[in-house]
Structure 1
Amino acid sequence: MLSSPIVLRMPPEFQMTDEQFFEFCQINRDLRIERNQFGEISIMPPTGSETGNREGNLFGQLWVWSEQDGTGITFSSSTGFILSTGAERSPDASWMKLERWNTLSPEQQQKFAPICPDFVIELRSASDNLKPLKDKMLEYASEAGFQLGWLIDRKNLQVYIYRPGQEVECLDNPATVSGDRVLPGFVLNMSKVW
């Protein structure tokens, strides 16, 4: 059974500012909430235990690499970013170069940072529809600063690779996925994700 998030469409006079949306997310922290560029709010069900474990594993692999590499920082799935379109998104795992992170003020770093990560990962659970995830990845790929993204489709054992200005690449049941030149030396072991 495929599930979709609950989408709330708000009249223009009820649109929240970025500050209000941040506060809305804080008082509803048990929910996974995003907002698209049109102001529609998506409320997603929590992930199941198996998907949560796989998500934690891929974040863990990225975090270990990032700590060893030292050129950037990682973010978990509970981190929100404000994209240039006004959309507020929370990738399942992400990474950003320190030089970009350090351009933000301390206040911007405390809330939903108004910047797109260099690298994002979205993990499809068995109940997720694929099209909204692909649309989200295209949204990231159109952002300044974005360099690489992976949409991991556990259901079909595929990894879609997004790079700015390039066609989407699809890998069938890879044993590993490489971070290329964006994350030199980072190789995601897919046996822990599948």
Structure 2
Amino acid sequence: MSSKAQQKIDLNDLDLNRIYTFEEFEYINDQLKYHTFEINGQPVNLFELDKNGKLIPMPQATINMEAVVSEIVRQLGNWNIQTDQGGAVTSSQGGFNFHVRGGRTIRAPDVSFTSKNVYRHLTQQQLWTFKGEPFTPMVVIEVSDTIKDSDTNKKKKAFDDLDEKFKFEYFAVGTSVQIGWLIDPKNERMWIYKRNEKGEVFRRERAWGGGGIDGGDILPGFTLDVEMIKDIISQKSPPTKSKGESQINCPK
């Protein structure tokens, strides 16, 4: 991106109604490492890019939300190593080009898993830029407050926006996503997204207190320990293990 083009972008007054080129999108995200940008007093540290070329601000997460994300990354990362999957576990700093409906759509799930089969066949361009052939993870997880306002209509919109993101972007035709989890630790709710035999996306809500979430055939041998997430939110220490117990559950 030329220096002349960079000068046309006012990082202190970004126009979110404007259509940006992909190069401008990359430049703005890179500059956010050194500049503070706020929307309605809420700091933003990342933008996604929708299929129309508009910037989607991603506000910084609160400490509790980020702690939950980190715990999910830890559990999934341990499983990836212990079971020798060889895949890649990424957080919201890892973006993907979902190329929805013919338009370049850059999304950064809170947590994602890309299989070894996909990860080890990516080109250098795909690994280090967004300019290669689009590819997507197998698993996407979003951690969010689905009830962000006391206003009933705004409550519904907060959930609907996330629901549409899963159904029409993460699970868009041509993506590799096979399972999605929407986890709301603040309101103790969670939903599971999958495709049926016809390729249609369906959603089901799962009880918060129902133990772990089984990864099934997509994440063989993995169960997300929801009790650990509940301990983080409640600030309760997990039960202390005896000296004879292993601290890591190794695969059989």
- TM-score tier, shorter chain, comes to 0.7 to 0.9
Unaligned runs of 5+ in 2: 1-13, 34-43, 149-157, 231-252
Q: Counterpart of 2:17 in structure 1: which amino acid?
A: R
Confirm or deny: 8 A CA contact 1:7 1:40 kept in the other structure.
no
Q: 1:123 to 1:8 in 2, by over 3 A?
A: same
Aligned length: 185
Match of 2:18 among 10, 15, 20: 10
Amino acid at match of 2:25: F
Which residue does the alignment assign to 2:171? 141
Which residue of the partner structure matches residue 30 of structure 2?
A: 26
When the two chains are superposed, the root-mean-square deviation of aligned CA atoms in Å is 2.1
Contact 2:146 2:159 in 1 (8 A): no
Are 1:181 and 2:217 matched, yes or no? Answer: yes
Deviating 4+ runs (over 4 angstroms): none
As a proportion of its length, which structure holds more strand?
Answer: 1
Higher relative contact order, chain-length normalized (CA < 8 Å, sep 6+): 1
Instruction: For 2:80 and 2:26, locate their aligned partners in 1 and report how far apart those are by CA, in whole Å.
Output: 27
**Whole-Å separation in 1 of the counterparts to 2:26 and 2:228:** 33
Among residues 81, 84, 87, which one is paired with 1:70 in the alignment?
Answer: 84
Match of residue 132 from structure 1: 161
Structure 2 length as normaliser, TM-score? 0.67
List per-residue Cα deviations over 1:93-135 (Å, max 9, x = no partner). 1001111122321121112473111001000137652222212
Q: Give the residue type in structure 1 aligned to 2:223.
A: V
1:182 Cα deviation (Å)? Answer: 0.1
How far residue 21 of structure 1 moved from its aligned partner, in angstroms, is 2.1
- Please give the per-residue CA displacement for 1:138-192, whole angstroms capped at 9, x wherever unaligned: 1101242111110112233222111122421110213210101000011001122
Normalised TM-score (structure 1): 0.86
Other structure's SS at 1:170 match: strand
> Highest Rg: 1 or 2?
2
Gaps of 5+ in 1: 1-5
**Corresponding residue for residue 3 of structure 1:** none
Deviations 1:7-33 (A, max 9, x none): 91224xxx312x442232122137121
